[in-house]
């Protein structure tokens, strides 16, 4: 085998498959319900035999085939290129200059970036975190829940506390403020005072209503309020932030570090939580982490916990890892959590490997 840094290690092929995976609990939000996890599974083959794997989450099955095709098409652009992720990122940026790297194109680029980094780490025989210059260490996580109401919400919260999680997140934005408070207070009673309680409005409120509801939550021991209004309204978030005492969290919908920079310049948030897919994969995450470090902002993750556990370990302002298992049913070894934390697995790469029997069961083939 060639030395991993040898430029003769090239990208030989990229394969993409679509699956629609069941969720233990549907993801209920104030703006809609995600009943299943539609995923595009990526296998990037290098000329030395290394394989890099990653997945994309398309939110709706309607986007599965289009995303799979975009990954396949951009994979053809990368064939024959050296396995050098920063160079690949520049190449894709150049090829998509006129179209832009947002939407499905941006997601596809991020998936290829994550797969390329995974392949490079496999080629070097290192876990991704070590390839990036960090070390495997426990990363504190929060258990991420939905708009569950009181009965299911309390049941899930008690289970999370029993599993050792020091923080849970619930989605709010019920029809009335009274219902928000009823759920939040029931969860607080269930988890006690030592467990952090985080809330997420999923962009569901207009500015004045967001201020009203957040003021009402200020005596409930809330750790952060996530996306109270439209995520692209950075000025609106800044106005809300100026009028409330609770920390404002956002970032899962930033499409690349440039959008993150605009939000930070507007003073839109106290905390940041990029999404590994939307921020631009490993390469985009590293750039985002530098922006957070420059402003001293705690940085958490949004879904994709298999890769995020590696990335947070090299993030200077590392805060919390989101535990939300989207891909577990199609993985041979889902990421393990112990006492409310996760550690990047010791095998080379990210540790993502497909359970092929499950992939066949949940695969969605183009008509």
- By DSSP bridging, strand 222-226 and strand 248-250 are parallel
Q: Is the pLDDT of residue 5 over 60?
A: no
Check: CB of residue 272 under 8 Å from CB of residue 299: yes
Angle between helices 257-265 and 234-243 (to 10 degrees): 40
What is the structure's pLDDT at 112?
98
pLDDT at 349 over 90: yes
pLDDT confidence band for 6 (50 / 70 / 90): low
Which residue numbers are catalytic? 171, 302
Would you say residue 297 has pLDDT above 50? yes
- Let me know how long the chain is: 367
Q: List C-alpha distances in Å: 165 to 172, 214, 306, 334, 337.
A: 20, 24, 17, 17, 9
Res 181: pLDDT: 98
pLDDT in tens, 49-73: 999 999 999 999 999 999 999 999 9
Output DSSP code: residue 15: E
Full-model pTM: 0.96
pLDDT of the residue at 40: 98
Choose among 66, 62, 59: nearest CA to 31.
59
Cα of 318 vs its chain's centroid, Å = 14
C-alpha span between 337 and 306 (Å, rounded): 11
259-287 confidence digits (pLDDT tens): 999 999 999 999 999 999 999 999 999 99
pLDDT at 367: 65
> Binning pLDDT at 50, 70 and 90, where does residue 98 land?
confident
Could you read off the pLDDT of 114-137 as tens digits, one per residue?
Answer: 999 999 999 999 999 999 999 999
Task: List, as own/partner pairs, every contact residues 318-321 make where C-beta atoms lie below 8 angstroms and the sequence separation is at least 24, other chains included.
Answer: 318/139, 319/271, 320/140, 320/141, 320/142, 320/167, 321/139, 321/140, 321/141, 321/142
**pLDDT at position 2 over 50:** no
SS3 353: coil
Structure tokens at 300: 């958490």
Q: Rounded to an integer, what distance in angstroms lies between the CA atom of residue 7 and that of residue 16?
A: 25
Predicted local distance difference test score (pLDDT) of residue 29: 81
Q: In the chain, what are the domains?
A: 11-125+357-362 (3.30.390.10), 130-342 (3.20.20.120)
Share of the chain above pLDDT 90, in %: 92
Better-scored residue on pLDDT, 186 or 35:
186
Q: Looking at per-residue confidence, does 152 or 100 come out higher? A: 152
């Amino acid at each position: 085998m060639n030395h991993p840094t040898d430029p003769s290690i090239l990208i030989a092929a990229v394969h993409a498959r679509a699956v629609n995976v069941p969720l233990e609990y549907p993801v209920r939000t104030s703006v809609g319900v995600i009943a299943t996890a539609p995923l595009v599974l990526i296998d990037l083959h290098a000329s030395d035999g290394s394989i890099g794997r990653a997945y994309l989450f398309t939110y709706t099955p309607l986007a599965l085939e289009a995303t799979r095709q975009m990954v396949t098409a951009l994979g053809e652009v990368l064939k024959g290129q050296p396995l050098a992720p920063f160079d690949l990122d520049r190449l894709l940026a150049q090829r998509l200059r006129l179209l832009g790297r947002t939407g499905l194109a941006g997601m596809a680029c991020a998936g290829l970036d994550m797969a390329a980094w995974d392949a490079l780490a496999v080629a070097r025989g290192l876990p991704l975190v070590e390839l990036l210059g960090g070390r495997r260490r426990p990363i504190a996580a929060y258990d991420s829940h939905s708009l569950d109401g009181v009965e299911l919400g309390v049941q899930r919260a008690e289970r999370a506390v029993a599993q050792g999680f020091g923080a849970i997140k619930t989605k709010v934005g019920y029809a009335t403020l009274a219902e928000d408070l009823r759920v939040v207070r029931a969860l607080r009673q269930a988890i006690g005072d030592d467990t952090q309680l985080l809330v997420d409005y999923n962009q569901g409120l207009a500015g004045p209503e967001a201020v009203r509801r957040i003021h009402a939550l200020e005596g409930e021991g809330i750790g952060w309020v996530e996306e109270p209004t439209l995520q692209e309204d950075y000025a609106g978030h800044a106005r809300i932030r100026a009028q409330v005492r609770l920390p404002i969290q956002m970032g899962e919908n930033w499409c690349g570090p440039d959008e993150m920079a605009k939000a930070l310049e507007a003073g839109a948030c106290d905390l940041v939580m990029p999404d590994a897919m939307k921020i631009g994969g490993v390469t985009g995450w590293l750039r985002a982490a530098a922006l957070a470090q420059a402003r001293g902002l705690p940085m958490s993750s949004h879904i994709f916990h298999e890769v995020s556990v590696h990335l947070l370990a090299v993030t200077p302002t590392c805060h919390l890892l989101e535990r939300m298992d989207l891909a577990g049913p199609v993985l041979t070894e889902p990421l393990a959590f112990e006492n409310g934390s996760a550690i990047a697995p010791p095998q080379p790469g990210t540790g993502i490997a497909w359970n092929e029997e499950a992939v066949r069961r949940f695969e969605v083939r183009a008509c």
